């Protein structure tokens, strides 16, 4: 099996999909000839032609709308939003249109499509290249929101997303594109070549949406995260020697409450982590549901380790990013509470 | 160099219509009295050959009811009578539904009074395979496509047989079998979607074109620009119609920039073919639609069509137009009434008369009443029966996820 | 003192502001000559002239952007978004611009303005005239989000909002425009004339932002809501004879955690209510913070009574709306848990 | 009737630039070789008198470095030398900063190589009171306004003296004292904001106009349309500049619709005055800006100006242009280099020579280096010192609310 970066895995998913299914097409700003600013669609226009893989005008609303029209008319578009920070001009087409078409038409029309977008910080991108806006989208009925943590999952989940009959918003943590990142910016960058989940099959496979992965078993407390924060949690637990059970949510909505509840009922303690701002971040939803479903098992309040309620800071990126120190403290406090 | 005073601002401009309640209606700014006939270029011409038409007015029916000029689509009397029939059907349907809303039978209604030619003529000029992305004021398309009136009413009554399961406000129809997209309550969103649909058709080398409609007020939305940009860039086989009925709700077309340029002229900046059409002239709308469809089918891309018309009644059942425009304005509209004009034309041709017209009106009134009786027997919003309550939780996703199942159980259904 | 509807109260707030301060201007779709589709700015163009109160093109992004430019340049705009359902074309200008200008410019520019918008259901408006989208906005750093419950608060809070140096998103529950509504659609409509909070002073006064109001004291459990749901909660508690303490949040962000914690620490039980969909609704944030701050006082899980995770249903409006029956059940379950 | 084949779609069109890496550069589609000089209407003319200029090219400096035609702003040699100085300063600054980014001194940088005339000439033609809403590629405006280079560098280095407290990516300047708005990383958002600012100025009867700039690629955003609509409706004293430098990042202007119409032509549809200007011609940009400012000041509303130029280097420090366009393309650009052209003009006038030019270059290099030394002494992103960490939590609201205070405490600062 080949080792791939997350970029290569995403590219490979496109390749598999474009190859197998005529209906699949892919577009976005700089996504055609150039193959995307991160290279996720590189080489695909040459291979599949200009009407399958192409550049789009810089208008995120139009990109979403074009994808909706195409999907309703039988195609399976995968559209790239260049940075998650730039998805908001398309917000109305997502809230008011994409996610309602099946419902409001009584099932007569559907818009099965994938919107992909790199998210998250850790690359000194400042407030306009670092956002993790997933929480906004989790409040929209009818939208699947997913975020892979490894190249293996990225490819398998992206294929599953494109084959799903629901619209899927697929966030890719850009800090993980070229290697896992455990939250320590002072360490030399790691590469996926040395990570077991960097092993990615060449052909078709899927990683099911809606299913979390238990990436570490433990008994002392449960840590729930997705994307970059899963790597941070793993390393924090390892270094601190805490017997944490770590859940990689993978699909944010619908989230895998079964796996979460099983774990929290077992450990009785829980911390949720995300890079996005705290207030009304997705951690709030998880906690609300956990305390509802696992109230009598909980021995301590569920803590949130998150980005701050400010724009993502440029110079103080590492004071904004919820790294190991903050997570460790929260884990210890939760254990001691 | 010109001498320019250094400060003469007394505030920015806020355009006002020529007439507000109490004033005499005045449409002089529209320059609709041009007598020279607009030329008709080949549908596969360069877009630039159409730019003159953005400031002209494509007309076929003159004020005496004669069809003339290069845009005359030369329709048979049978087709003309069909057009008259469908426009009258639309109007009769609208009138009845509006009244029924007033009687509490449904929550909301919107008429297309005075604008029937725009939807009916376009619906007839297009092929069944052509896709429609309308706004809420093109119900005539449904009649032109032969949609079942009872089903339309089932929707408006939100009853147990509403194909939309009671989920949408009345008049927000969907009819996939009729290639009629789901109408959105959010203005303008359908315009760029239509381009995407058209591109998908083109990608399969299908001959279908796609048509969409928005209002003058809605041209201000970003989605109008998105649609024009996509249509231009990808040369999509799409017809982008701006129905300029002079009013949004209480704000007139000038608040969308309509005082400073025609809406058709917007197309020039994108290199789109552009036509400005007498929207109350059945033949002109038919011809313009056919021209644009031919152009799209031939692979020459999109056309932006402005149809100039007048919203002859309220915006919807929620408003009273006499609070913001003169009562007499509709009657003063210089382009007349689309039904009266086509009727006069047919009579001038010797293909119609007042008796037949009256008989048709009566038959349509009966048809609408009979349909309504049938639809009402399927329920009304007020008295039910409605769609089954558990269906509230369906169609959000392809399959119901756990949280919606739980919520359904929470509701006890 | 005059009795006013909430519409009149909002109108009166504009009148006071326009009169006192040259910098105040007001605009929106149909907001000029016509005075707004609900009449909130009626008569003001005639009184203050066309450059103070005027119509805007149907482009919500442009409306927000115009307000930003004006506010940065010394005016104090109050812009109306005709329905909260139609705010999304302006979402990017709110997330990426309005709420960041002070921060990203190091305080060199600010955009103190008010966006007003009628929200909520109960008028058979279907999925595009019924939304309560407040939760989306509570996740945006730098934005004050408020929702009045009575004419008195509407006027006082709107004046406070316009006088605030922060951007304020001001949601007005349209079901309360003409009278209080307790969630029972079968009762004859009530009018504000008979409600003590329908008494509204003519002149200038403020109701401070960031402060909740305890609208009913009680010991058995705490109910937290805002807007229409406060009236529903009051009537539910009354009819069911539950000794509930009811908090009207009024300002959603920043929320008054002090008042909340004091009450929950006292009662030990809590229910949060809102009309918006459940998943990642603002109830989630409240619960996350309550369980963090009041964990050891809580005797039962905090329940959410909310709209469903579907678009707002038209025909089944009253099955969608979280009315008295659902609230009562949740209160009883919470009491018994 | 025209015979139209019923299906000849072979997919939609996806425009491609004339040349990709390996091809010979080709700018023939821009029709830049027109020799007849564009006429200059009165700045308070009807907008329609400018429409011809949307498809023309306002030029003053001919290929021989002579100033000619009606648009010649007749500037004194002193002003011309000032322009040359400022353009060269911008270029020298850019070159050094780009290099320093490569050396890890800052996180990011964007040059304006080849586009210096657009910002410098506009900055000089406007008055200090006029407000600027630029994109990230008009740093020349800051030099034209006399901004302190050390402070600019403090920002780019995100150091302790960065007026933006390290919160923004480099080149996203703010300078309120210089009437220079906060640059956004989100494309196009500033365009409609600029109209709002202009309206506020007008509402106080001030004489200031407002100018904004976006790129060719950014014209596709909805905010472009919002700005044009607002500007048209309210006749705002605003200058809307589209800097058409032929490329967005890897996608060329055709992906924004630039193959089918000029960007200036977009203005026609809104009834805005429109000019298409040689963006590498200092005198033409100066004259066009002055014209538009005069128009705005006189209460005649907005002008849309397309400046035709070429992005002569990478989009930013994050990209390599040779992967998507021919290496030789910049050199083949038919409108030359703005600095070379103004230099040649000054030399032809006898007001400049190569020695003085070289001396100026050397002086500027020294000035930039000296400024950098000073700025670096205030810190760099890599080595600090940075803004105080608690300032992360400031300026979110006017006053810090409880939750941010808590979060600051959480961080232990
Ligand atoms: C995005 C959005 N903003 C505002 C509204 C409210 N609204 C509904 S219809 C309307 C006026 C539309 O006018 P126009 O486009 O001219 O269409 P017409 O009704 O005249 O056919 C407005 C403002 C809406 N439905 N969607
Ligand atoms: C809303 C938004 N979408 C996408 C981007 C990413 N992006 C940054 S610059 C750029 C290209 C802009 O091209 P153009 O407008 O021509 O300006 P230029 O860089 O050529 O000056 C893109 C796509 C962004 N910053 N904002
Ligand atoms: Mg209209
Ligand atoms: Mg460019």
Q: What are the domain boundaries of chain A?
A: 2-200, 213-336
Q: Biggest alpha carbon distance in chain D?
A: 79
Asked if C88 lies within 8 A of A100 by C-beta distance, the reply is no
Contacts 24+ apart (CB under 8 A), A175-180: A175/A120, A175/A121, A175/A122, A175/A123, A175/A228, A176/A6, A176/A149, A176/A150, A176/A227, A176/A228, A176/A231, A177/A5, A177/A6, A177/A7, A177/A38, A177/A118, A178/A5, A178/A6, A178/A7, A179/A5, A180/A150, A180/A231
The predicted structure's pLDDT at residue D8: 39
> A34 contacts in D (CB within 8 Å)?
249-251, 323-324
Asked if B16 lies within 8 A of C33 by C-beta distance, the reply is yes
Whether B2 shows a pLDDT value over 60: the answer reads: no
Which of C59, C97, C142 faces D226 most closely, judged by CB atoms?
Answer: C59
Q: Is D273 on the interface with B (CB under 8 A)?
A: no
For residue D94, which of D182, D171, D186, D173 has the smallest C-alpha distance?
D171
Looking at ligand 1, which residue's alpha carbon is closest to its atom 4?
A: C86
The predicted structure's pLDDT at residue D5: 43
At D1, is the pLDDT very low, low, confident or very high (cuts 50, 70, 90)? very low
Where b means 16+ CB within 10 Å and e means fewer, A132-165 reads bbbbbbbbbbbbbbbbbbbbbbbbbbbbbbbbbe
The predicted structure's pLDDT at residue B10: 63
CB D94 within 8 A of CB D321: no
CB C139 within 8 A of CB A277: yes
In terms of C-beta density within 10 A (0-12 exposed, 13-18 middle, 19 or more buried), how is residue B363 classed? middle
Assigned token pair, B53: 């038409």
Pairing of strands B238-244, B303-308: parallel
> A59 contacts in B (CB within 8 Å)?
222, 225-226, 229
One fold for C2-200 and C213-336: yes
Looking at ligand 2, which residue's alpha carbon is closest to its atom 21?
A: D215
Span between the terminal Cα atoms of chain D, in Å:
78
Report the chain D residue with the minimal C-alpha distance to residue B291: D2
> Could you please report the per-residue DSSP string of C211-260?
--EEEE--SSEEEEE-THHHHHHHHHHHHHT--EEEEE--EEES--HHHH
Q: Is B221 on the interface with D (CB under 8 A)?
A: yes
B313 φ/ψ angles, rounded to the nearest 5 degrees:
-135, -165
Q: Give the ligand whose atoms come closest to the C-alpha of residue A59.
A: 2
Q: 3-class DSSP state for residue D252? A: strand
CB D277 within 8 A of CB D263: no
Asked if C278 lies within 8 A of B407 by C-beta distance, the reply is yes
Residue B275 CA neighbour count, 13 Å, CB half: 30
The predicted structure's pLDDT at residue B1: 34
Q: Give the ligand whose atoms come closest to the C-alpha of residue C93.
A: 2
Q: What is the 3-state secondary structure (H, E, C) of C159-186?
A: HHHHHCCCCEEEEEEHHHCCCCCCCCCC
Selected for mutation to probe chain C from B17, B172, B189, B250 (highest C CB count within 10 Å) is B250
Q: Which residues pair with A25 in a beta bridge?
A: A77
Residue A85 CA neighbour count, 13 Å, CB half: 19
According to CATH, the topology of domain A2-200 is Rossmann fold (3.40.50)
Q: Whole-angstrom Cα distance, residue B400 to residue C217?
A: 40
Mind listing the pLDDT tens digit for each residue in B333-356? 999 999 999 999 999 999 999 999
The predicted structure's pLDDT at residue D10: 63
The predicted structure's pLDDT at residue D36: 76
Asked if D193 lies within 8 A of C65 by C-beta distance, the reply is yes
At a CB cut-off of 8 Å and minimum separation 6, what does C253 contact? A279, C137, C138, C143, C144, C145
CA distance D214 to chain C (A): 15
For residue B217, which of D231, C57, C83, C88 has the smallest C-alpha distance?
C57
Whether B5 shows a pLDDT value over 70: the answer reads: no
Please list the active-site residues of A.
Answer: 129
Which of B182, B200, B223 faces A109 most closely, judged by CB atoms?
Answer: B182
Pairing of strands D303-308, D273-278: parallel
Distances in Å between the alpha carbon of C87 and those of C58, C195, C252? 11, 31, 18
CB D203 within 8 A of CB B12: yes
Ligand 4 centroid–CA A125 distance in Å is: 21
Ligand 4 centroid–CA A170 distance in Å is: 28
Selected for mutation to probe chain C from D198, D226, D236, D406 (highest C CB count within 10 Å) is D226
Looking at ligand 1, which residue's alpha carbon is closest to its atom 21?
A: B215
Q: What is the 3-state secondary structure (H, E, C) of B231-258?
A: HHHHCCCEEEEEEECCECCCCEHHHHCC
Assigned token pair, D343: 């230099």
Asked if A311 lies within 8 A of C104 by C-beta distance, the reply is yes
* Residue length of chain D: 413
Query: Does B248 sit in the ligand 1 pocket, CB within 6 Å?
Result: yes
Asked if B248 lies within 8 A of C316 by C-beta distance, the reply is no
Mind listing the pLDDT tens digit for each residue in B280-337? 999 999 999 999 999 999 999 999 999 999 999 999 999 999 999 999 999 999 999 9
Sign of CA dihedral B228, B230, B232, B237: negative
Mind listing the pLDDT tens digit for each residue in B21-71? 999 999 999 988 766 789 999 999 999 999 999 999 999 999 889 999 999
Mind listing the pLDDT tens digit for each residue in D70-87? 999 999 999 999 999 999
Where b means 16+ CB within 10 Å and e means fewer, B32-43 reads eeeeebbebbeb
Angle at B175 between CA B106 and CA D8, to 5 degrees: 150
Mutational test site, ligand 1, from B141, B217, B253, max ligand atoms within 8 Å of CB: B217
Q: Whole-angstrom Cα distance, residue C9 to residue D141?
A: 47
> D234 contacts in B (CB within 8 Å)?
12-14
Angle at B223 between CA D303 and CA B181, to 5 degrees: 155
Residues 118-177 of C with CB under 8 A from B: 124-129
Whether B89 shows a pLDDT value over 80: the answer reads: yes
CA distance C336 to chain A (A): 14
In terms of C-beta density within 10 A (0-12 exposed, 13-18 middle, 19 or more buried), how is residue C187 classed? exposed
Q: Whole-angstrom Cα distance, residue C316 to residue C314?
A: 6
Q: Whole-angstrom Cα distance, residue B322 to residue A193?
A: 72
CB C260 within 8 A of CB C212: yes
The predicted structure's pLDDT at residue B3: 41
Ligand 1 centroid–CA B320 distance in Å is: 15
Q: Whole-angstrom Cα distance, residue C18 to residue C35?
A: 14
Mind listing the pLDDT tens digit for each residue in A78-95? 999 999 999 999 999 999
Ligand 4 centroid–CA A109 distance in Å is: 38
Selected for mutation to probe chain A from C65, C98, C106, C291 (highest A CB count within 10 Å) is C291
Does ipTM surpass 0.95 in this model? yes
Mean pLDDT for the stretch of residues A53-79: 98
Query: Does B139 sit in the ligand 1 pocket, CB within 6 Å?
Result: no
At a CB cut-off of 8 Å and minimum separation 6, what does A218 contact? A237, A242, A243, A244, A245, A246, A267
Ligand 2 centroid–CA D216 distance in Å is: 9
Cis peptide before A324 (omega within 30 of 0): no
Q: Whole-angstrom Cα distance, residue A182 to residue A322?
A: 11
Query: Does B186 sit in the ligand 1 pocket, CB within 6 Å?
Result: yes
Residues 109-148 of C with CB under 8 A from A: 127-128, 135-136, 138-139, 141-142
Percent of chain A whose pLDDT exceeds 70 = 100
Q: Give the ligand whose atoms come closest to the C-alpha of residue D215.
A: 2
> C319 contacts in B (CB within 8 Å)?
389, 392, 411, 413
> B182 contacts in A (CB within 8 Å)?
101, 104-105, 108-109
The predicted structure's pLDDT at residue D63: 87
- Which residue, chain included where needed, has tokens 């579907």? C310
The predicted structure's pLDDT at residue B57: 96
The predicted structure's pLDDT at residue B76: 98
Cis peptide before D385 (omega within 30 of 0): yes
Angle at A177 between CA A174 and CA A181, to 5 degrees: 85
The predicted structure's pLDDT at residue D33: 72
Mind listing the pLDDT tens digit for each residue in A135-163? 999 999 999 999 999 999 999 999 999 99
Asked if D186 lies within 8 A of C96 by C-beta distance, the reply is yes
Q: What is the DSSP letter of D217?
A: G
Q: Whole-angstrom Cα distance, residue B347 to residue B343?
A: 6
Q: What's this model's pTM, rounded to 2 decimal places?
A: 0.98
Whether D13 shows a pLDDT value over 50: the answer reads: yes
Ligand 4 centroid–CA D260 distance in Å is: 16
Class of domain A213-336: alpha beta
Q: 3-class DSSP state for residue B214? A: strand
Q: Is D107 on the interface with C (CB under 8 A)?
A: no
Q: Whole-angstrom Cα distance, residue A289 to residue D183?
A: 41
Pocket of ligand 2 (CB under 6 A): A 29, 58, 82, 86, 89; D 137, 185-187, 214-218, 243, 245, 247-249, 311, 315
Asked if B249 lies within 8 A of C37 by C-beta distance, the reply is yes
CB D338 within 8 A of CB D116: yes
Q: 3-class DSSP state for residue D178? A: helix
For residue C116, which of C82, C143, C150, C91 has the smallest C-alpha distance?
C82
> A69 contacts in B (CB within 8 Å)?
133, 192-200
CB C223 within 8 A of CB C270: yes
Q: Is B273 on the interface with D (CB under 8 A)?
A: no
Q: Whole-angstrom Cα distance, residue A112 to residue A102?
A: 10
pLDDT < 50: residue spans in chain C:
none
Q: Whole-angstrom Cα distance, residue B265 to residue C173?
A: 40
Class of domain D32-382: alpha beta
Neighbours of chain C (3+ CB pairs under 8 A): A, B, D
In terms of C-beta density within 10 A (0-12 exposed, 13-18 middle, 19 or more buried), how is residue B65 classed? middle
Looking at ligand 1, which residue's alpha carbon is closest to its atom 19?
A: B248
At a CB cut-off of 8 Å and minimum separation 6, what does C333 contact? C303
CA distance C198 to chain D (A): 30
Asked if D250 lies within 8 A of A33 by C-beta distance, the reply is yes
In terms of C-beta density within 10 A (0-12 exposed, 13-18 middle, 19 or more buried), how is residue D239 classed? buried
């Amino acid at each position: 099996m080949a080792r791939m970066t997350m970029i290569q895995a995403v590219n490979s998913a496109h390749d598999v999909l474009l190859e197998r299914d005529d209906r699949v097409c892919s577009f976005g700003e700089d996504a055609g000839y150039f193959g995307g600013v991160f290279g996720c669609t590189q080489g695909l226009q040459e291979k599949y032609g200009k009407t399958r893989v192409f550049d789009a005008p810089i208008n995120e609303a139009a990109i979403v709308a074009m994808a909706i029209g195409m999907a309703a008319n039988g195609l399976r578009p995968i559209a790239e939003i260049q940075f998650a920070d730039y998805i908001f001009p398309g917000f109305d087409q997502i809230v008011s249109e994409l996610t309602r078409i099946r419902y409001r038409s009584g099932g007569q029309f559907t818009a099965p499509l994938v919107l992909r977008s790199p998210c998250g910080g850790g690359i000194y991108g400042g407030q306009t290249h670092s956002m993790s806006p997933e929480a906004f989208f989790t409040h929209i009925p009818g939208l699947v929101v997913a975020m892979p943590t490894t190249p293996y999952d990225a490819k398998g989940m992206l294929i599953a997303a494109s084959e799903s009959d629901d619209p899927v918003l697929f966030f890719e943590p850009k800090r993980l594109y070229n290697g896992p990142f455990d939250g320590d910016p002072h360490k030399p960058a790691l590469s996926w070549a040395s990570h077991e989940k960097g092993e990615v099959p060449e052909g078709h496979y899927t990683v099911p949406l809606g299913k979390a992965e238990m990436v570490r078993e433990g008994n002392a407390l449960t840590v729930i995260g997705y994307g970059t924060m899963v790597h941070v949690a793993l390393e924090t637990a390892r270094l601190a020697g805490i017997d944490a059970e770590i859940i990689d949510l993978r699909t944010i909505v619908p989230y895998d409450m079964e796996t979460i509840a099983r774990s929290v009922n077992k450990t009785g303690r829980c911390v949720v982590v995300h890079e996005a701002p705290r207030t009304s971040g997705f951690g709030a939803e998880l906690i609300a549901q956990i305390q509802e479903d696992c109230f009598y098992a909980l021995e301590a309040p569920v803590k949130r380790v998150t980005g701050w309620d400010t724009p993502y800071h440029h110079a103080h990126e590492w004071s904004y990013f919820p790294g190991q120190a903050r997570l460790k403290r929260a884990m210890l406090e939760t254990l001691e509470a | 160099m010109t001498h320019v005073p250094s400060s003469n601002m007394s505030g920015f401009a806020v355009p006002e219509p020529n007439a507000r309640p109490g004033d005499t209606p005045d449409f002089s700014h529209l320059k609709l009295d041009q007598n020279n006939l607009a030329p008709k270029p080949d549908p596969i011409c360069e877009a630039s050959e159409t730019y003159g038409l953005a400031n002209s007015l494509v007309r076929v029916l003159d004020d005496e009811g004669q069809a003339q000029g290069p845009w005359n689509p030369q329709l048979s009397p049978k087709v003309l009578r069909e057009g008259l029939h469908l426009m009258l059907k639309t109007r009769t349907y609208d009138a009845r539904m509006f009244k029924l809303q007033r009687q509490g039978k449904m929550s909301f209604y919107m008429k297309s009074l005075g604008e029937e030619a725009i939807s009916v003529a376009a619906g007839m000029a297009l092929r069944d395979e052509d896709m429609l992305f309308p706004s809420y004021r093109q119900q005539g398309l449904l009649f032109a496509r032969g949609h079942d009136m009872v089903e339309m009413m089932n929707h408006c009554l939100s009853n147990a047989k509403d194909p939309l399961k009671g989920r949408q406000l009345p008049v927000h129809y969907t009819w996939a079998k009729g290639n009629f997209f789901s109408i959105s309550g959010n203005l303008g969103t359908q315009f760029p979607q239509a381009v995407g649909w058209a591109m998908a058709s083109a990608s399969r080398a299908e001959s279908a074109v796609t048509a969409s409609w928005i209002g003058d007020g809605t041209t201000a939305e970003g989605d109008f620009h998105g649609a024009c940009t996509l249509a231009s860039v990808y040369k999509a086989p799409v017809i982008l119609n701006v129905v300029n009925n002079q009013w949004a709700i209480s704000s007139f077309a000038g608040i969308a920039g309509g005082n400073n340029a025609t809406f058709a002229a917007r197309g020039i900046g994108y290199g789109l073919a552009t036509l400005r059409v007498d929207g109350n002239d059945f033949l002109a709308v038919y011809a313009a639609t056919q021209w644009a469809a031919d152009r799209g089918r031939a692979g020459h891309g999109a056309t932006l069509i402005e149809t100039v018309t007048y919203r002859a009644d309220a915006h919807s059942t929620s408003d009273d137009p006499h609070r913001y425009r003169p009562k007499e304005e509709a009657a003063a509209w210089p382009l007349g009434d689309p039904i009266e004009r086509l009727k006069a034309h047919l009579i001038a041709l010797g293909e119609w008369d007042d008796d037949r017209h009256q008989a048709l009106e009566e038959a349509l009134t009966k048809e609408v009443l009979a349909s309504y009786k049938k639809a009402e027997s399927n329920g009304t919003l007020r008295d039910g029966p409605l769609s089954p309550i558990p269906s509230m939780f369906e169609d959000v996703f392809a399959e119901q996820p756990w949280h919606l199942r739980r919520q359904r159980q929470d509701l006890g259904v």
